Amino acid sequence: MVIDDTPANLSLLAGMLNARGFDVRLFPRGRMALAAARQEPPDLILLDINMPEMNGYDVCRQLKMDKHLRDVPVIFVSAHAHTLDKVKAFELGGIDYVTKPFHTAEVAARVETHLQLRRYRLELEQYNQRLQDMVAEQVREIADAQMSTILALSKLAESRDDDTGHHLERVQHYCRLLARELRHLPAVTTEVDDAFISNLINASPLHDVGKVGIPDAILLRPGTLSDEEFATMRTHAALGAQTLEAVQAIYPNNAFIRMGIMIARSHHERWDGAGYPDGLAGEEIPLPARIVALADVYDALRSKRCYKAAFSHEESRRIIADGRGTQFDPAIVDAFMRQEQAFHHIRTTMDDG
């Protein structure tokens, strides 16, 4: 694209560029050229400075403000030979400056050089993008492998603790419901975003991963545990967190693991501070753990175990409502009550059979 208000210059530059195989569009006014460039961005622009309506400096300024045109190379072609004029042109984003009168061979050489540089830059950007895509894919594969390994460990912990079937999958669905309900509350809007919900869904199955470290004699006992045995059982929360902390030491920036640690350690804490292992109370308990706490309890209530029959949805809802402000975060209980029928539907459609 050539922008110059002098017909002789337009004709001279067009002839020279056409002779070298370039497709050239000619414009005597800056506004006309800008409108055409926005319709079809050029590969390079030769730009005069002294023009009516809009001078070359203003045209260049407009080009650099447009995200679709800011990378188009601009070569200023002007009779102004003063250093300050050239400096201003470069400050506005010009890549070269040709002084009139000019030799057509010199202009042609500069155009070809800058077009070649532009091609190299675009090729480099494409290569970098391909490289970034390859790295991102490798990171995803590694992350998927990590997640598969950790979730397999969670499944192993689940399989050792009575036949809970689809417990982990149901807890994931419950957590999604609660988090989406909570994200509309002003108190948690900034914390509960799409990334939080995704990590919560993925990390919630890790809540009982520490049970892998509990002896079978305690974990599988159908009767009442002694005080000493119950104290051992309660260590699964800290054991799970410690297991995941070892993974986090290798992958310190993994938000999924970081949330898994919170959940594993604190999902048995209570809103009133009477839980374990740290006796946290209220908002001292990480939000992901508070969400999983209710989801886990609801599913446990609805499930048959060797030491109890399954509760109905109505009984489970009453127990959770009674725990509002004592065992559970009141806001999360309220979210559960708004979504209770969805909880019931998930439990019914994903029954253990």
Which domains, ranges and CATH numbers included, belong to the chain? 2-125 (3.40.50.2300), 161-349 (1.10.3210.10)
* Average pLDDT per 10 consecutive residues for the chain, totaling 353 residues: 94 93 94 95 95 94 94 94 94 95 90 93 91 83 71 69 74 97 86 94 92 84 86 94 88 88 98 98 98 97 84 97 98 97 95 68
DSSP string, 162-182: S--TTHHHHHHHHHHHHHHHH
CA dist 52 and 321 (Å) reads 76
pLDDT at residue 159, as a whole number: 63
Bridge partner list, 47:
3, 76
CA dist 250 and 162 (Å) reads 32
> Tens digit of pLDDT for each residue in 229-265?
999 999 999 999 998 998 888 878 888 889 999 999 9
pTM: 0.62
Other residues' Cβ atoms within 10 Å of the Cβ of residue 245: 15
CA dist 175 and 179 (Å) reads 6
Tokens of 58: 């203003």
